[in-house]
Amino acid sequence: MLGFRYLKSPPTRHAFLFKNGNVVRQGAGASFWYFAPTSSVVSVELGSVDVPFVFEDISSDFQDLTIQGQLTYRVIDPQKLVKLLNYTVDLQGRYTSDDPDKLNDRLIQHVQKQTHAFTQAEPLQSLLLRSEELSQVLSTSLRDSEVALTHGLEILTLSVLSIKATPEMAKAMQAEAREQLLLKADQAVFSRRNTAIELERQIKENELNTERAIEEKRREVRQAQMQADVAIELQRAELVDQQVANNRKLADAELESLRGTLEALRSVDWKTLAAAAGGGQTKGLIAMAFQQIAENAHKIGHLNISPDLLNTLLDNRGD
């Protein structure tokens, strides 16, 4: 309508109306009429903007790696931003230049520069495990950077999602890690077997100690039995010696008694002794009588022997 246009901005956009190089209207969510031939409209997004990034770098041990992440920012001072970059929009609300894209490029360039300084100081294997630390370093650096301050930006978040090595290097590192895990597994098995062997050795040693203690007890019992047997034998030997001594004393006593008896009988006639030894039997006495007759036959003139006497002498039954 004769060059007049109406602009209605959402609450997340800050609109500027320039005339003759001066700002005549501005504000977040501003709405106004303007005359297009003599006016310029600048629109800055105030909402948060997500900027993903992926770039390659090199570690201190000259290994290639890929870093992937995302940063989120928002504009808190659009007046600073519009002084450095052209955010003018046309009648359809499209930017008339590519300056809005340059802001993302400047932020990513700063991130890439700080990332390069970080990766140059660390080897690949260490970097793969330090993505969280790199995120903190980049976030702090970007918040205090000249890019954020001069462009009126607030850095909300910056996250390094992954740090990856090349596929060949990743396979090599996986193989090395696998070998280390296998080695640890072998060491665990070896340690477990050594523990089992040690426990078995202790069991065997305990069994041997038990058997040794049992044998020692048995030996002590045998020694005690032998000592008891020796003591019994000693007592038995003492008993035998005592018996021998007693028998010797008894024999000596009997010898002395017999010797006394013989001394007493030495003066007795043998005939008397024989008669006494015969116990008064008739045959013995008759035999002694005939012997005396035979010894004194020269003195005997006439000898008569009765039949009864002969029958008595010839009788086998005797008295």
- At 42-54, the pLDDT tens digits run 999 999 999 999 9
Q: What pLDDT score was predicted for residue 282?
A: 60
Per-residue model confidence (pLDDT) at position 50: 95
pLDDT number for residue 257 = 82
8 Å CB contact between 44 and 87 = yes
Instruction: Give the pLDDT of residue 52.
Output: 95
The list of the chain residues with pLDDT below 50 reads: 318-319
- Count the neighbouring beta carbons within 10 Å of the beta carbon of residue 28: 14
Q: What per-residue confidence (pLDDT) applies to 175?
A: 85
At residue 318, the pLDDT reads: 47
Burial (0-12, 13-18, 19+ Cβ within 10 Å), 288: middle
The token duo for 151 is: 């462009």
pTM of the predicted model as reported, rounded to 2 decimal places: 0.56
Q: What is the pLDDT of residue 151?
A: 94
Q: How far is CA 74 from CA 104, 111, 311, in A?
A: 11, 16, 176
At residue 134, the pLDDT reads 94
